[in-house]
Amino acid sequence: MTEYSRMAKGRFVSTGGIKVINLPFQPDSVEFWNFSAAGTPAQNGVPYAYWDSLMGQGTASAQYFNATPVLSTGNVTSGGISTFSAGQLLQFGPTLVVSDITKASPASVTTTTAHNLVSGDVVILEGLFETSTTGMPQIAGIPFTVTVTSTTAFTIPWNTNQSNYTVISGAATGTPRVKKVLYPAIYFPGTTVISNITLGATTTVDTASAHNFRVGQEVAFRIPQQYSTVELNSLPNNLTPGAPAYGYVIAVTDYNTVVVNIDSSSYTAFTNNVSVDNSVGLSFPQIVAVGDVNTGGTQISANSVLYPPPQSNPIGTVDVNTINGPAIRGAFVNNTSQGFIIGNGSLTGLASTVLVGANTNVIYWRAYLCDQSIPS
């Protein structure tokens, strides 16, 4: 029977870390071929793997090359292939203890155990009091996109090298913790916390996590007085009372930097050097998407796909397709994620075999959702 079956296929270039594939369904079986590993046989290469939901989440059966190299087979019992569904609310990974946060720009965070993050993941920090009156509670609760520097360290795009921040150390009284946001782009562009603003004839905005804006996106600002640049706020509008003041994105520098067409030359300089006393209960400065359908999104030209599905840009320059069908980019995109994950686990007894392959490996995959599962 194939009346309700679904199939999808694709390719990606491995980074050596786990790979999340968004789909408009949750598959019950997945297979993939590592084109690079199959084309150049070498010890510990994994050219093919298969997973079925009856095998259990995080498992897989795979082929691998031994030392000869001759093709053999084995199983993955953890860190294999699994499915996911993000739901409507934020979900979090395990809570890890933080041993240190430096005063630096960007700030560096160290965990007491391996964090298992990859660059582009989003995290939230909490418990950031060094003493009852010092520490870094100013950044507690902000979603940060991380850049991984080691198995127990990563940086966050925020300047903590300021007078009101105190180094977090192992002696901290607040039990500093960090947890991963599993599906940070359920809705995007969403509301993004501002980490810095550069004033001028145009306004450059740096964000703590991926903004997912496109050129042409209409935006508004929500900046509490403690961060100083309140002139950017959409209300009040001194030129047209009762109407909000908006700007437009005119350039996207990278995943967390945009340029807006607002002349802020005469505005008050931005600061996030908020005191510990004033940080408790304080709202964060935000840049938000506004409007319904606007000129943002992929340009439509003679050789482009007409109305492609909206894409997110978590880090770097590689866009990620959402689960949506063809659409014109609006202010907010519903991206309630589901699909499957290829992990970086190893075959049993073969620690050097990495299921998702090595960095730059080209991998082709197919995913299926079948009408029926026949019981044994």
Radius of gyration of the chain (CA): 23
Output the tens digit of pLDDT for each of the chain's 376 residues. 456 788 999 999 998 888 988 888 899 999 999 999 999 999 999 999 999 999 999 999 999 999 999 999 999 999 999 998 877 677 888 999 999 999 999 999 999 999 989 888 899 999 999 998 999 999 999 999 999 999 999 999 999 999 999 999 987 778 899 999 988 877 777 779 999 999 999 999 999 998 888 888 889 999 999 999 999 998 776 777 777 889 999 999 988 999 999 999 999 999 999 999 988 888 999 999 886 544 445 555 556 555 566 777 777 556 776 766 666 666 777 777 788 999 999 999 998 999 999 999 999 999 999 987 776 6
Architecture in CATH of 96-181: Beta Barrel (2.40)
36: DSSP letter: H
pLDDT for 268 equals: 97
| Residue carrying the six token digits 């292939």 | 81
Among residues 155, 230, 239, the alpha carbon closest in space to that of 199 is found at: 230
Which residue(s) pair with 254 in the sheet?
257
Q: Tokens for 242?
A: 């009762």
Q: Phi, psi at residue 137, to the nearest 5°?
A: -65, -10
Contact 201, 260 (CB under 8 A): no
What is the helix, strand, coil percentage profile of the chain, to 5? Answer: 5, 35, 55
| Residue carrying the six token digits 């093709």 | 71
Contact 36, 360 (CB under 8 A): yes
Contact 219, 266 (CB under 8 A): no
DSSP run (H or E) holding 39? helix 35-39
Contact 160, 166 (CB under 8 A): no
Its pTM stands at: 0.76
Q: Phi, psi at residue 39, to the nearest 5°?
A: -80, -25
Structural domain spans, the chain? 6-86+338-369, 96-181, 185-334
- How does 259-279 read in b/e, with b if 16+ C-beta sit within 10 Å? bbebebeebeebbbebebeeb
CATH superfamily of 185-334: Ubiquitin-activating enzyme E1, FCCH domain (2.40.30.180)
Contact 6, 363 (CB under 8 A): no
pLDDT for 296 equals: 46
Pairing mode, strands 218-222 and 286-289: antiparallel
